[in-house]
Structure 1
Amino acid sequence: MSSPTPNVWFIAGASSGFGKQIALEALARGDAVIASSRRTAGLTDLSSRGAVLVDLDVTSDDATIRAAFARGESARSSSPPDKKYTTSRTFFNANVLGIMNMTKNEIGWLRSKQGQEQQQTGRRSVIANFGSLGSWRGGPAFAYYAAAKWAVSGFTESLAAEVSELRIDACVIEPGYFRTGFLNPGGGHRVTMQNPLDREYAGTQVEHLRGLLEQVNDQQPGDVVKGCRVIVDALTRSGAAQGKEVPVRLPLGQDCVDVIEGKMAETQALIDDWRAAITTTDHE
């Protein structure tokens, strides 16, 4: 059953794509939203719908993140209900270490006095991170992206087991291809490397995949509005998720389901092929 009191969402990266649409979906349901981004100047549409805006870089130090939580909570209590990554180190800092940094502080905040008061009502909190179809399959031209998403999914799956007894659920959302603007060149969200080695990869699968990304841009099958509706349902155990527990992993889109099922079949085939050899390594 859905709670009679509004849910409170703290959304890191609410400037576009899934983050922004989740904020809009939650606001439309009457929930309270604290929307953060490195620059919130462009989030006036969320503010006009009642969201509290907080400037926050997820790679900031702990004190800065805790202060952002406090600012958001303080503003919410008194109000009605980018930059392109060009190196693997910066990419991992934001998309893996930044998520871990945020999560550590989120757990601390949820266990604080404010969190304890919420837990007294019998409700469970949820920490949700974003993986991807790329959490399940790697391939040419997106090694860093797949590595980061695998890390996030593995981290969140482990986190779910660690915090469950603290009345906190953890979920990693794994979308397939959605029209979020993620692949738009020059839009601030597409990841490029400083030295893409175009000449070295000419005529290879890497070059082929890069061309496919240009073709699929704005032609992806996934509808972000529909996807975020499922996400909000799952995280609040309402609508399509009525009577269900918050899932540890939430794949989105038929393309993601196809990839996961293909990966499962390939993995089973690998184990069957190698079983006789790989099961001989234990002590007698």
Structure 2
Amino acid sequence: MTGNVWFISGATSGFGKHIALEALSRGDKVVATARSATSSKVTAELGSRGALLLDLDVTAGDAAIKAALGRAVAAFGRITHFINAAGYILQGPIEGATPADVQRTFDVNVLGNMALVRHQVAYLRTRDGGGAGGVIANFGSLASWGGGPGFAYYSAVKWAVSGFTESLHAEVKDFGISAVVIEPGYFRTGFLNSGGGNRQFVANQMADEYRGTGVEQVGAALDMVNDNQPGDVVKGCRVIVDVLTRTGVAEGRDIPMRLLLGPDVIQGVKDKIASTQQLLAQWEGIASSTDHDDVKKA
């Protein structure tokens, strides 16, 4: 048995589920949470392997979060690793979303995870957390690095999570807490399967209005890549657990602020850097011309 105790939200599928399985395979203790963790067939597998299953809707508010953390600590003692993996993609044209669509995707993907983090930081920072550091990991995406037609809201929430975690990393490092945003590319997790909870659509798809545009093309591309993604989620989660425990491939390395997973996201970041450098080269002179005349130039 190790001393690692993992508290995972969004554990019924994808990365949340497979991080839990990887941690359990190493003898770690796992608290697997989701809205229907205690009744899900997926999390039943985790429960059969010793995970504590807790129902927790990340949007339920402070009292529900505190109660879940309390039950986890009572069962396993000090939590060392928090994985905030709850989320979904909202697909479709920007104008086709209702206010409820937009509010819900931010509630789950951003505000719910932020609520978890507030309590996780307080726990790890204080005596309740043992005062011995700990890890908080949030999930960004390849979409954290670039937007596009048909997935504007998903890109928005993932940019928000990545930016939030960058600030979190700087804020909690003085307490010995590591904060990291995990940014995967395309992995074969079932995330894009239709009919599940992870791929949802704006209320009005406006198929006729957007026929032949990027919105339709991106939707077709997501259909095509579904269940054909290059990334192996088992391999990805093995790397994640190695990195967050500083073992295996990450032995001797510090936990990074940003963990990229997959050649596609690596290429996406390189493309973003190149396009940003091009933007600066073209516009730096104009962008730098707006100071007061009495400001000394470096």
TM-score where L is the length of structure 1 = 0.92
Counterparts of 2:46 and 2:126 in 1: how far apart (Å)? 27
Q: CA deviation at 1:148?
A: 0.3
Alpha carbons of 1:251 and 1:83: their partners in 2 closer, same or farther (altered >3 Å)?
closer
Distance in 1, matches of 2:2 and 2:212, equals 58
Work out the CA distance in 2 between the residues paired with 1:146 and 1:70.
Answer: 33
Give the distance between the partners of 1:30 and 1:132, measured in 2 at CA: 29
Q: Classify the secondary structure of the residue corresponding to 1:89.
A: helix
The question of whether the paired residues in 2 share the 8 Å contact of 1:66 and 1:109 is answered with no
Cα deviation, residue 113, structure 1: 3.1
Instruction: Work out which of the residue numbers 127, 131, 156 in structure 2 matches 1:147.
Output: 156
Q: Do the aligned partners of residues 83 and 233 (structure 1) sit closer, same or farther apart at CA in structure 2, a change above 3 Å counting?
A: closer
Instruction: Please give the secondary structure, in 1, of the residue aligned with 2:135.
Output: strand
* 1:55 aligned onto 2:86: no
- Cα displacement (A) at 1:76: 2.5
> Counterparts in 2 of 1:195-210, with a 5 A limit?
195-210=204-219
Residue 235 of structure 1: aligned partner: 244
Q: Counterparts of 1:1-284 in structure 2 under 5 Å? A: 5-40=2-37, 41-42=39-40, 43-77=43-77, 87-115=101-129, 117=130, 119=132, 124-283=133-292, 284=295
In 2, distance between residues paired with 1:97 and 1:67?
Answer: 18
Distance, in Å, in 1 between the alignment partners of 2:173 and 2:146 is 28
CA shift, 1:187, in A, is: 1.6
* Alpha-carbon separation, structure 2, partners of 1:83 and 1:39: 14
Cα drift, residue 243 of structure 1: 0.9
> SS in structure 1 opposite 2:200?
coil
Q: List runs of 5+ in structure 2 lacking aligned partners.
A: 78-85, 91-99
Give distance in 2, aligned partners of 1:111 and 1:60.
23
Amino acid at match of 2:271: G
Q: Which amino acid aligns with 1:166?
A: F
Any runs of at least 4 consecutive aligned residues in structure 1 with deviations exceeding 2 A, and if so which? Answer: 82-86, 111-114
Report the TM-score when normalising by structure 2: 0.88
Matching residue's letter, 2:266: V
Question: Deviation string for 1:156-208 (max 9, x for gaps)?
Answer: 00000001111111000000000110110002210211112111101111111
Deviations 1:111-169 (A, max 9, x none): 34331x352xxxx3000000000000100000000000000000000000001111111
Contact 2:6 2:28 in 1 (8 A): yes
1:8-31 Cα shifts (integer Å, max 9, x gaps): 110011000000000000011111
Helix, strand or coil at the partner of 1:60: coil
Q: Deviations over 1:21-53 (max 9, x none)?
A: 000000111111111000011211101111111
- Structure 2: distance between partners of 1:11 and 1:5: 17
Q: Are 1:131 and 1:153, in contact at CA under 8 Å, matched by a contact in 2? A: yes
Alignment RMSD, CA only?
1.7
Could you give the per-residue CA deviations for residues 256-283 of structure 1, whole angstroms, max 9, x where no partner exists? 0000000000000100111111111122
SS of the aligned residue for 2:243 comes to helix
Q: Distance in 2 between matches of 1:157 and 1:144?
A: 20
- Number of aligned pairs? 272
Which 10-residue stretch deviates more, 221-230 or 104-113? 104-113
Name the aligned partner's letter for residue 255 of structure 1: D
CA distance in 2, matches of 1:58, 1:112: 22
- Separation in 1, partners of 2:201, 2:230: 23
CA distance in 2, matches of 1:129, 1:177: 17
1:62-91 Cα deviation digits (max 9, x unpaired): 1210110011121225xxxx9987711101
Tell me the distance in 2 between the aligned counterparts of 1:111 and 1:242.
Answer: 25
